[in-house]
Structure 1
């Protein structure tokens, strides 16, 4: 069973529960001020919490009509989430990117942190000049901060097939999914002054 640690992110302006054994990447290398990055000591799984400029969904208006009916509660935000997933695929030079599901995790704590929209997808990412790309399970959560023009994005990168032997087992991937869920549900924006 995973043990969790409540962590102060961005100087304590945000808190979230992470697995207690993750390593803060800032202790190993330079990390941009807009990111918090954590690494698992026993696998190639990584967690990134990132403050991004709000993506303007107004130019997605025509595409909104193509969004599946079950996502109608927040069609523009679904498209924004898909944009962030596609942007990550571009940054990863992914050969393919497939979305498996999208859901909302409501914030029922009563604080001002917005509810998260969560995407599960898979990207095939070439690594280290190997001929076969790695299969990476992507768990992505979007918190839209409308008044601050910010998209706060949480990403778990979970390699499930790797030519260098760094893949996570099916059981390991399920554990990572539950850890993602715990982090996303616990994420609390304490100080909105962070977003200026």
Structure 2
């Protein structure tokens, strides 16, 4: 089913981006840090997070350095659960409205939670996802000393997805990840910086 999108101003309009119409701005419900914009699927569990962070200075040059920076950001995101993360692929990404000199990369990973002990509360066991897929895009703004992270989190909760349709080892993404890949592609095509001064405030 094709999704509708709407041009969405982020960070007070400093950035513009097409986001799915059925996603809602989380800051209308709860407080979100100033350096973040969070959008949540009104009909599901997927979220899209824009995060403006200080540039990670990794050793090496070019692709090697940027690849390390991507790994560092991923480890920051998952915190203590780093052991339970598997990265399926990492690719250089093209943003239609950014200068080609700006390095941008995307990885797809999955994070599988530790098994919940059987003595734990049954509801906790039920609502914990089987796994969460992450589509993480990194935009490296060297001149601005900034990294922009765009993360699409896709929790897969038992009963909410077709388990037979998902096997990343076989290249089967299933509907939820397939949708998230489409959202990511739409973001790469529409992401536009209207006010570069935004990055001076990080």
TM-score bucket (shorter structure): 0.7 to 0.9
Verify the 8 A CA contact 1:96 1:124 in the aligned structure 2: yes
CA–CA separation in structure 1 for the residues paired with 2:95 and 2:180: 21
CA–CA separation in structure 1 for the residues paired with 2:94 and 2:187: 13
Verify the 8 A CA contact 2:16 2:193 in the aligned structure 1: yes
Aligned match of 1:22: 23
CA–CA separation in structure 2 for the residues paired with 1:45 and 1:95: 22
Per-residue CA shift, 1:105-126, capped at 9, x if unaligned?
2234465893521011111135
Q: Give unpaired runs (5+ residues) of structure 2.
A: 117-122, 166-173
CA–CA separation in structure 1 for the residues paired with 2:83 and 2:100: 38
Deviation at 1:37, TM superposition (A): 0.1
Is 1:179 matched with 2:192? no
Aligned match of 1:135: 131
Is 1:191 matched with 2:186? no
Aligned match of 2:111: 123
Aligned match of 1:77: 66
Aligned match of 2:120: none
- SS of the residue aligned with 1:38? strand
Q: Give unpaired runs (5+ residues) of structure 1.
A: 65-72
| TM-score, scaled relative to structure 1 | 0.82
Aligned match of 1:6: 7
Verify the 8 A CA contact 1:120 1:139 in the aligned structure 2: yes
Structure 1 vs Structure 2 CA RMSD? 2.6
CA–CA separation in structure 1 for the residues paired with 2:101 and 2:48: 20
